[in-house]
Homo-oligomer: A and B are copies of this chain.
Amino acid sequence: MARTGRRPGESDTRAAILTAGRQAFAQHGYDGASIRSIAGAAGVDPALVHHYFNTKHGLFVAAMEFPVDPGEVLPVLLAPGIDGLGERLVRFFLSVWDSAGDRTPFFALIRGAVSHDESAALLREFITREVLGRVAAAVDQPDPELRATLVGSQMVGLAMARYIVRIEPLASADAETVVAAIAPTIQRYLAEPLTS
């Protein structure tokens, strides 16, 4: 039964679910982890997981401490249509990442994905389903899935070069310079012919 109102131990319960969620996602992947098994590992009723996190998606976003929930943000960015989408995507991600700092759990997730195959599989499943799938659905061109992964490749490369490996002058360039440089790349991947 879902509880409402604060009571002693509530934050402990939430933390126990998050811990069990992280372990389950790491062990079974995003698709393989279930609310039921996570609730069992945390010693709580599955209804309590739904109470705190609504869905498996919500639990994952909370467990990985994403700075934003792509399930909330992407529909807003995609809504105005394909025109200017490259610029909206780049400007939005820079606004989040530039203020996040390189020690956030989000960058730890990227670091983990590069170091460990299980983390790579986890990030791949989530990005493919929750991010690239939404972007691909907005594309009105041949090869929407390939186009979405090309967008992903440039955005991941930007995160690596600007925040993780910190290669200058890209690491310190002001945001508008980066938007002007990279938005046309994203826009071409989304909406223009992919031939040289």
Contact = CB atoms under 8 A, between A and B. Distances in A.
Interface of A: 86-87, 110-111, 113-115, 120, 123-124, 127-128, 132, 143, 145-146, 149-150, 152-158, 160-162, 164-170, 173, 177, 179-185, 187-189, 194-196
A153 B146 contact: no
A65 B167 CA distance: 22
A146 B158 CA distance: 12
Nearest to A112: B115
Contacts of A143: 169
11 contacts: A110-B114, A114-B160, A114-B165, A127-B165, A132-B167, A145-B168, A145-B169, A146-B173, A149-B170, A154-B157, A156-B165
Contacts of A164: 113-114, 120
Copy number in the complex reads 2
Given A157-B155, A157-B158, A188-B185, A169 B194 contact: no
A180 B165 contact: no
Nearest to A113: B165
A180 B188 CA distance: 12
A184 B180 contact: no
A181 B193 CA distance: 9
Given A160-B160, A164-B120, A153 B154 contact: yes
Given A152-B167, A177-B194, 19 more contacts: A111-B115, A114-B115, A114-B164, A120-B166, A124-B167, A127-B165, A128-B168, A132-B167, A146-B170, A149-B167, A149-B169, A153-B182, A156-B165, A157-B160, A180-B196, A183-B196, A184-B196, A185-B185, A187-B196
